[in-house]
Amino acid sequence: MRFGVNYTPRVGWFHHWLDFSETEVARDFDTIAELGVDHVRVFPLWPLFQPNRALIRPTAIGDLERMLEIAGERGIDVVVDGLQGHLSGFDFLPAWLTSWQRRNLFVDPVVVDGAAEYLRTIAAACAPHENFIGMTVGNEINQFTGTVHPEPYPATSSEIGHWLETMIAACREGAPDAMAVHACYDATWYDDTQPFTPAHAAQLGDATVVHSWVFNGTAQRYGADSFETRAHARYLIEIARAFQSEPGRPVWAQELGAPRNVLPEASVTPFIEHTVAQLAEAPGLYGITWWCSHDVSRSLADFPELEYDLGLIDEQGAIKPEGRVLRSAIGEARARVANARDATPSPPRSLRLDLGEVGGRAGLAPGGAFWLRYMEEARMHGHPLVELAS
C-alpha cells in the first residue's frame, strides 16, 4: 500500500508555475519527505501549459520534468494530473474553450483533440523518469458537467464514456508503461444526474479512484466524531469496488482530508487516525494520498476559508500537528498491512446492493437507504463486501 500527499506549493500555491523556483520546490519536498510518504500528486495548470490549442509550452514541460527530478532525488514518486481544470474553488480552463471561443469540453472534436494531445505530450515527457507513477486525466473534472456549476459543459453518459476512453488512450500513448486513471468527486457515486457514472469510475483506466470529503453532508448530518464520518472514505472504497468488473483491480483513495469547516480542532486527530486505520484494512487498496501538503498562504485572497488550514505543513514550512499525526498513522498502517500478509483473513460478510431497490445513486449518499444498511453492518460487524445484485 502506498502513502502520499497532494502537493500544494507553499509559495504561490499553483500559481508557482508562472515563476517556477527549483529552490522552493526542493524545500517543499524536503519537508514532505519528513512526513514518511512515498509519492506526491502534482498539478500542472492547464491554461499555463497549453494557453493556445496549438501551443504546449516547452518551458512549462521542462519545469514539470525538473519537479520529477527533484522528487526523485528525495526518493519520492510522482503522479501527474493533466486537465486542471478545477482546484480548491477555482476553475482553470484555457481561453480557447471559454467566453468568445466557448466550445464543449467533452464533445467538441477540436477541443477533444487538443486536450488529448496535451495529455499525450505531458505523459511522454514524464515517461522516461523512473519515479513517474502515471497520469490522472484531471482533477474532479466531473464538476464541469454538474448542475451546481455556474457554466456547465453538458454531455450524456455515452459521450462522457467516449471522452474518458479518448483521454486515457492519450495518456497511454504518451507513457505506455505508466498508470493511467481518472478522478471524480463523489457526485459520481451519489447523484443520478451525473453523466460520469460508477461504471466509468470503476471500469475505465488502470485503477478505480475515489475522492472522499466529509463536508458532503456526512459530518453535518452525523457529527464530526461519528462512526459514519470516520468510516466515509472506507465506505466509498467498498462502493467503488462493487462496480468493478475486473477481479483484483486496484482501488485508490487519491484525495481525502480533514476539513476544518466540519471538523473542530479536537476532532482532527481521531479523524485522521480512524480514517487511515480503516482504509489500511481494505483488501487490495492501492494507496492513500492525503490532501494536502501545505496550507494556502493567507497572503492569497478569495479562497474558501477551509483551504487555508487543510495542509499538513503550515505556510512557514513547519509540519503541523496533523502532519505528525498522519506520519504516525502511516507508520501504524504499514505495520498493519505487513502483519496482514501473514494472517489468514476471515471471509468478509457481504451486503447486496440493488440500485433500483435503494432509489438509485441517491440511495448510496449519506442518509440514503443503502448507506444506512451499510453503516449499521459496518458498526456491528466490520466493513462488509458490497456485491451488486446485477
DSSP letter at 56 equals -
Confidence of residue 342 (pLDDT cuts 50, 70, 90): low
Question: Which residues, in sequence order, are CB contacts of 51 under 8 Å at separation 6+?
Answer: 57, 94, 95
Q: What is the pLDDT of residue 340?
A: 72
| Residue from 279, 301, 281 nearest 289 by CA | 279
Q: What is the pLDDT of residue 345?
A: 67
Cell of 127: 515517461
Cell of 91: 476553475
Distance CA 190, CA 17 (A): 34
Residue 233, burial from CB neighbour count under 10 angstroms (0-12, 13-18, 19+): buried
Distance CA 239, CA 353 (A): 9
The pLDDT tens digits of the residues spanning 261-305 come to 999 999 999 999 999 999 999 998 999 999 999 999 999 999 999
Q: 179 - beta bridge partners? A: 134
| Residue from 242, 241, 199, 212 nearest 354 by CA | 242
pLDDT at 343 over 80: no
pLDDT at 16 over 70: yes
The pLDDT tens digits of the residues spanning 206-252 come to 999 999 999 999 999 999 999 999 999 999 999 999 999 998 899 99
Distance CA 275, CA 390 (A): 30
To which CATH superfamily is domain 2-348 assigned? Glycosidases (3.20.20.80)
Q: 252 - beta bridge partners? A: 209, 287
The pLDDT tens digits of the residues spanning 296-331 come to 999 999 999 999 999 999 999 999 999 999 999 999
pLDDT at 147 over 90: no
DSSP letter at 101 equals G
